[in-house]
Amino acid sequence: MNIIKTFNFNQWDTTVDSSVRDEVIDALEHGHVIALPQLEFKLLPEEQKFLSPDWADKKSKNISLRPRAGGVSGLKGAIGSEADLSAIQAMIQRYADQSLQLISAILPSYMPNLTIANTSFRPLEVETRASSYRKDDTRLHSDAFPSNPTQGTRLLRVFNNVNPYGKPRVWRVGEPFDKMAEAYLPKTKALLPMQAWLMKQLHITKRTRTEYDHRMLQLHDQLKADMHYQQHAPQQSVNFMPGTTWIVYSDQVLHAAMAGQYMMEQTFSLPANALKWPETAPLKVLEKMLNKPLINSR
Ligand SMILES: [Fe+2]
């Protein structure tokens, strides 16, 4: 099976027939990566200078725009004039705006329930020597974050490779989420009643970790720890060339970033119930397998 589904849209505000929109949403929700090799994010001449790792603070790796907080984070403190700061912010904001235009054009049914999350520019090379296996994104995983529980909302991401030297962003993508979960979910543990409360009180988590988040995190960690799985599980390698946009549910598609530098990324979140096919959401897949609700407050 080819996990990559390619379309030829070449404008962020493209107009698309409803039959093509159906193809996009069906493929995306069933765990495909939507690749748009002709949808370039164009940098202005004066933005070319931002294509350097020197702009990023090495700790945060991403230069990010947070919609609620405002302003950019992750810039190296000493670098840049006020004019540079507003120019880099404008570049990242333009990517956020165009990503939203794209979603509204090809996935219009998401719009009433879509939340705009962070927008990032990653000028650093993919890190091949992570400090721990859990942080090693060259290992196949679906996204789950220890301090940032999603409580079952989907992570929809729009990426673009802006590399000026012709270098691809190289990913590996793995087997369908439910196949992985069938093997690994039985090895995960339930969340202890006091555990979530305590993590929230101690500010280890930004909001309450649900059992869904707890299981997703264990799947993430177990998969990354299993080198046999990493090498032998069904997978394909894909090169996203410069000028390519790709859209993926990163909480569902098993992915690993192998190489590349200079990438834009927009994150959206969406409740599982707002999908066309809610049963494909990791929340629903895990609830069905465990035969119980994994989010308390529903
Ligand atoms: Fe990831």
Assess contact for 92 and 44: CB atoms under 8 A. no
pLDDT at 298: 40
Query: Each residue's pLDDT tens digit in the chain (298 positions)?
Result: 799 999 999 999 999 999 999 999 999 999 999 999 999 999 999 999 999 998 888 777 789 998 877 778 888 765 678 888 889 999 999 999 999 999 999 999 999 999 999 999 999 999 877 789 999 999 999 999 998 999 999 999 999 999 999 999 999 999 999 999 999 999 999 988 788 888 888 888 888 889 999 999 999 999 999 999 999 999 999 999 999 999 999 999 999 999 999 999 999 999 999 999 999 999 999 999 999 999 975 4
Question: How remote is the CA of residue 225 from the centroid of ligand 1, in Å?
Answer: 15
- Half-sphere CA count of 76, side-chain side, radius 13 A: 14
239 inside domain: yes
Question: How remote is the CA of residue 135 from the centroid of ligand 1, in Å?
Answer: 9
CA distance 298 to 296: 6
As given in the structure block, the two tokens for residue 83 are 């004019």
Rounded alpha-carbon distances, angstroms, from residue 51 to 119, 162, 229, 261: 16, 9, 35, 9
pLDDT at 297: 54
295 inside domain: no
Q: Which of 131, 149, 156 is nearest to 34 (CA)?
A: 156
Question: How remote is the CA of residue 240 from the centroid of ligand 1, in Å?
Answer: 16
292 inside domain: no
The H-or-E segment that residue 286 falls in is helix 282-290
Question: How remote is the CA of residue 143 from the centroid of ligand 1, in Å?
Answer: 5
What CATH number did the domain enclosing 17 receive? Answer: 2.60.120
pLDDT at 79: 66
Q: What are the φ/ψ torsions at residue 129 (nearest 5 degrees)?
A: -125, 80
Rounded alpha-carbon distances, angstroms, from residue 131 to 55, 127, 135, 149: 22, 10, 7, 22
Question: How remote is the CA of residue 181 from the centroid of ligand 1, in Å?
Answer: 17
Question: How remote is the CA of residue 83 from the centroid of ligand 1, in Å?
Answer: 32
296 inside domain: no
CA distance 291 to 89: 46
293 inside domain: no
Question: How remote is the CA of residue 95 from the centroid of ligand 1, in Å?
Answer: 20
70 inside domain: yes
Count of the separate structural domains present in the chain: 1
CA distance 12 to 245: 10
Q: Which of 22, 38, 30, 23 is nearest to 3 (CA)?
A: 30
pLDDT at 78: 58
The rounded radius of gyration (Å) of the Cα atoms in the chain is: 19
- Half-sphere CA count of 271, side-chain side, radius 13 A: 6
pLDDT at 241: 98
Domain that holds residue 192: 4-287
